Structure 1
Amino acid sequence: MTRKIVFLDRATLAPQIRLRQPAFAHELVEYDRTMPDEVSARLAGAAIAIINKVSLTQAVLERLPELKLIAVAATGTDCVDKAACQRLGIAITNIRGYAVNTVPEHTFALMLALRRNLVAYRQDVLDGVWQRSGQFCFFDHPIRDLGGARLGIIGEGVLGQRVAELGKAFGMVPMFAAHKGRAGLGPLYTPWPEVLATSDVITIHSPLTPDTRNMLAMPEFRAMRRKPLIINTARGGLVDENALVAALDEGLVSGAGFDVCDGEPPRPDSPLMRVAQRPNVILTPHVAWASDEAQQTLADQLIDNIEQFVGGTPVNLV
């Protein structure tokens, strides 16, 4: 039996990343990108769909009776209607553990650049300020160490845990935030209000769910007494972007390092794009996960997931 496999958005993996052929009879069709109105036609007759960010809605899934597996080439599965999949008997797998180095390292790249004002100083050098200063250095922008800073971590999974490890190596004081609105979660957690009030840096490593959407909004920013940096390498939508811009304008937070937006790519007039040129804002194009090493691990695990499912021993089921 030959199974048809369709990868709807192959261009979400870099061209140098090798996607090995599954070890069973198959036909693999790859598309660089797929628009919403192309999904149903391209998945017609497919037993296995590979997606990264293409949306699979109930209406689309109901038109695909032969589809048995959606292999998501990412950890987050918010692009798939999971309730519809359960009702229709379609399995979903995702990728786990591949980003344990790349995302935390990107998190600290943003953190270090903002705490040390690297963007502003680089621009000053390009603009000739160093030459005009008349001495070996100048102090136009504050520089803050990570050592001794309090690091509020929202999300206690493998990425949050790795960020805490790196924070300790820098001499920071990590705190795992208790889930918003919940108490009594155990000794790992610091109460949500305390994390907001006492953090010098807040970094987010949570999934996007109805409960976590806009978890940081104006009430939370007003509770941040130490004017922290806000770092988001998780998902757009976890932070109310309009509220973030207002918090930056009012000095409630000292800066923002974001690798994700609520809607990607962002519109030119979106909140984060409106402030992206500020020296205390760094916006990167959802690449925290994308080191070559991490992408190859992801690609290998993606095919492992498919082979295990076809072999009757599924792993990484959502």
Structure 2
Amino acid sequence: MNTVFLDRDTFNQNVDLSAIELQSSSLRCYSMTQQDQVVERCRDAHCIISNKVLLSAANLKQLPNLKLVCIAATGTNNIDLPAAKALGIAVVNVAGYAKHTVPQYVFAQILAYYSKTEQHNRNTQQGLWSQSEIFCVLGEPMYQLANKILGLIGYGALAQEVEKIALAFDMQVLIAEHQGATTIRHGRVSFEQLLSDSDIISLHCPQTPETTGLINQAVLQKMKPSAMLINTARGALIDNQALLTALQTKQIAYAVLDVLEQEPPPKDHILLNAGLDNLTITAHIAWACQEAQQELINIIGQNIQSFKQGGGLNRLVS
């Protein structure tokens, strides 16, 4: 099994690739691959590993030796699945590797915001404690998480882990029904109720035609002025201009984004240049704890092994 890894640098260099090497007669890694390099680099490949490099129908048609594509992620938008199926190329992905790491990120951001840890550390560094006439420096108000309402939009494995942590803090958790649904499933609340009741809203739904631009001006207007919005799902779930306006006018209190609709974003992206103190943006790293990266690589090795043995582990296209 000749294997080509098209974008090795989407993982830390100290991540161990031995799980893949054990299943490959040869493994050739490229730090990154441009579109016009895909065919040349993969001409003799039986297996391609790609995190974010696009594999179009035109690419796939020029690779007659290709038997398997391993997506080094859960999302499948980087490969033409119908073309792969028509050409008899199996496609697999990975899931569950960020089960702990994304919820950890969500609560790291929630705790930083509600406990104001950065601000209180800055107070001490600036000498305010030494100058204080009392035993502490109260500074910016902190708030407990107990009894706060966390709203989850999307309720897959990651959201369910977020829910577990929230319950450990004695928070209340609401799970949104689909927007516009005429019936409400047991254990869920209407989309509108979640917006109006939640102190924190965390997005965990996939990007589909229905969810693109889901968080728009009308939705933001229904949220509490004190609400915090967190997006670790897909950037296109949020209307950027509507969010910018909502933050500038204090329509909502705070937003944390780990994803944007274009990645990497342009330097002139309106949110990157907003200069707001109620907006935190990180570079799509909620998934990327060292353990999660290693687990993802290990699953790819298991996927290749399963394919070689005629199995269907994580198979998207047969």
Please report the TM-score for the alignment, with normalisation by the length of structure 1.
0.91
Following superposition, the deviation at residue 145 of structure 1 comes to 1.6
Provide, for residues 125-172 of structure 1, a one-character-per-residue CA deviation record: whole Å limited to 9, x for no partner: 445555566544444433222111110001111111111111000111
1:211 CA displacement = 2.3
Cα drift, residue 85 of structure 1: 2.2
| Residues 19-73 of structure 1, C-alpha deviations (whole Å, 9 max, x = no match) | 1144455221101111222222222222211011112223322322322221011
Q: Give the conservation status (yes or no) of the 8 Å contact 1:119–1:279.
A: no
Alignment of 1:1-318 (within 5 A): 3-20=1-18, 21-24=20-23, 26-128=25-127, 130=129, 134-275=133-274, 278-318=276-316
Question: Residues 17 and 221 of structure 1: is their aligned pair in 2 closer, same or farther, counting only changes over 3 Å?
Answer: same
Bigger CA drift: 5-14 or 15-24?
Answer: 15-24
SS state at 2:237 partner: coil
Aligned-residue CA RMSD (Å)? 2.0
Change over 3 Å in CA distance of 1:224–1:29 after alignment to 2: same
1:118–1:183: structure 2 CA closer, same or farther, 3 Å change rule? Answer: farther
Relative to structure 2, which stretch is displaced further, 159-168 or 112-121? 112-121
Query: 2:3·2:24 contact (CA, 8 Å) conserved in 1?
Result: no
Aligned residues of 1:114 and 1:257 also touching (Cα < 8 A)? no
Question: Is 189-198 or 114-123 further displaced after alignment?
Answer: 114-123
Partners of 2:248 and 2:169 lie apart in 1 by 29
Unaligned 5+ segments in structure 1 are none
Instruction: Tell me if the contact between 1:232 and 1:257 (Cα under 8 Å) persists in the aligned partners.
Output: yes
Quick one: distance in 2 between partners of 1:39 and 1:122? 48
Counterpart-to-counterpart distance in 1, 2:65 and 2:89: 9
C-alpha separation between the residues in 2 aligned to 1:292 and 1:254? Answer: 32
Moved more, 93-102 or 82-91: 82-91
Identity of aligned residues (%): 37
Offset of residue 309 of structure 1: 0.9
Deviation at 1:225, TM superposition (A): 3.0
Alpha-carbon distance in 2 for matches of 1:124, 1:287: 28
Distance 1:184 1:23, change over 3 A: same
Q: How has the CA–CA distance of structure 1 residues 59 and 131 changed in structure 2, closer, same or farther, with 3 Å as cutoff?
A: farther
Give the drift of 1:16: 1.4
The CA distance in 2 between the partners of 1:238 and 1:126, in whole Å, is: 38
Deviates more, 1:184-193 or 1:5-14: 184-193
For the structure 1 residues 281 and 119, does the alpha-carbon distance in structure 2 shift closer, same or farther, using more than 3 Å as the test?
farther
Which letter maps to 1:314?
A: G
Amino acid at match of 2:34: M
Equivalent pairs counted in the alignment come to 315
How has the CA–CA distance of structure 1 residues 96 and 43 changed in structure 2, closer, same or farther, with 3 Å as cutoff?
A: same
Unaligned runs of 5+ residues in structure 2 are: none
On the 8 A contact 1:116/1:144 being kept in 2, the answer is yes
User: Which has the larger displacement, 283-292 or 112-121?
Assistant: 112-121
SS at match of 1:272: coil
Residues of 1 paired with 2:289 and 2:16: CA distance?
14
- Separation (CA, whole Å) in 2 of partners of 1:9 and 1:148: 44
Structure 1 residue identity aligned to 2:206: P
For residues 169-212 of structure 1, give each alpha carbon's deviation from its aligned partner in whole angstroms, at most 9, with x where no partner exists.
Answer: 01111111112222325113211011111110000112222222
